Amino acid sequence: MSASEPVLSVRNLTVEIGTRRGTARVVNDISYDVHRGETVAIVGESGSGKTVSALALMRLLPEPPARVGGRVLLDGVDLLRGSERELCRIRGHRIAMVFQDPMTSLNPVLTIGQQLVEPIRLHLPLTAGAARDRAVEMLHLVGIPAPRHRLDDYPHQFSGGMRQRVMIAMALACDPEVLIADEATTALDVTTQAQIVELVAGLQDRMGMAVVWITHDLGVVAGIADRVAVMYAGQVLEEAPVDALYEDPRHPYTTGLLASVPTPGIDRPHRLFAIPGLPPDPVALPPGCPFWDRCAVRGEPRAEFTPQPLRPVGSDHQVACSCAGPAARHG
């Protein structure tokens, strides 16, 4: 897979947002590649910049107040340079996004059918009737019972899990090459989450779509990702194939994060590892490593590179830490 050209290539993406308190540096020079059929997970806690980076690469951030820099190449075409017209042809067609909150991302005054048919008519050369058939097919694909009948229902007539399925149906309606799922299952119960995860994996196998899965849930990531990028304070601190990241995490933030997750059943009562302190304020990012203040194995003095460059520590494994080595592991 990695031998081929990536479908999506994010290069040196930065996002700055002007606020009353000053400029917030929300995304600081992140780069990653996604290949056909691959799932790349972006993990991080609230405020780490994972959602903003996704909105930025879709050109969905209002500029100003946001300032977006870098390159986002979809099959070699830079999305950040395209005109709004060109983007409208690409977004929802070749690259689509599922948003976090199924309660607020659907228009409450339009039927599910109207909302599903809209992107299909916009992007595919289909008649109204054929578009409607396509919408029914998509609803069926995501497991909504009696889809033809449900097409004329309004969002409030669907449960949270069903609405998220509708969102996925909408995103997949035009066979995108890349799907960006931003906390697509976070608002859902675990049994519904399992249904949705299985659904996306099945569709991915059939359609060869690449998926960028943005989440804070390390359990979900373990089950679905091929590669993982860990974000903190707008930077990618570590990037690795999923097994390497969980079995041999190198960045002290990654090790801390993994150690703070309780494991049901396997766990014996013990104190959870808790990372002390709080993430830095994006308006007043300290120079050097953003994790230094909370780091258990930090070197002295604080490294001065901003941001810390990613350096290889294994095959396909990169880490932004000047002291990361085997010694960085927590028990």
The footprint of another protein (CB under 8 A) covers 45-46, 159-162, 189-195, 198, 216-223, 225, 242-243, 246-247, 256-258, 260-267, 269, 271-276, 278
In contact, 96 and 174? CB cutoff 8 Å: yes
CB of 198 to another protein, least distance (A): 6
Token readout for 3 is 């031998």
Dist CA 251 CA 256 (whole Å): 9
Smaller CB separation from another protein, 143 or 288: 143
Closer residue to another protein (CB): 109 or 266: 266
Question: By the 8 A CB rule, do 17 and 62 touch?
Answer: no
CB 288 within 8 A of CB 304: yes
> How far is 85 from 59, CA to CA, in rounded Å?
12
Look up tokens 């308006």; give the residue.
Answer: 283
C-beta closer to another protein: residue 131 or 242 = 242
Q: Residues 173, 181, 149, CA angle at the centre, nearest 5°?
A: 40
Report the residue number, 73 or 141, with the smaller CB distance to another protein.
Answer: 141
Nearer to another protein, 70 or 249 (CB): 249
CB 54, min distance to another protein, A: 18
Give the whole-angstrom CA distance, residue 119 versus residue 279: 39
Minimum distance, C-beta of residue 212 to another protein, in the bound complex (Å): 18
Identify residue 221 by its one-letter amino acid code: V
The DSSP 8-state label assigned to residue 303 in this structure reads -
State in angstroms the smallest separation of the CB of 219 from another protein: 3
What is the spatial distance between Cα 282 and Cα 53, in angstroms, rounded to a whole number? 14
In the complex, minimum distance from the CB of residue 197 to another protein, in angstroms, rounded to a whole number: 8
Q: How far is the CB of 11 from another protein (least distance, A)?
A: 27
Nearer to another protein, 175 or 248 (CB): 248
What lies within 8 Å, CB to CB, of 152 at 6+ separation is 111, 112, 113
Q: Is 272 exposed, middle or buried (0-12, 13-18, 19+ CB in 10 A)?
A: exposed
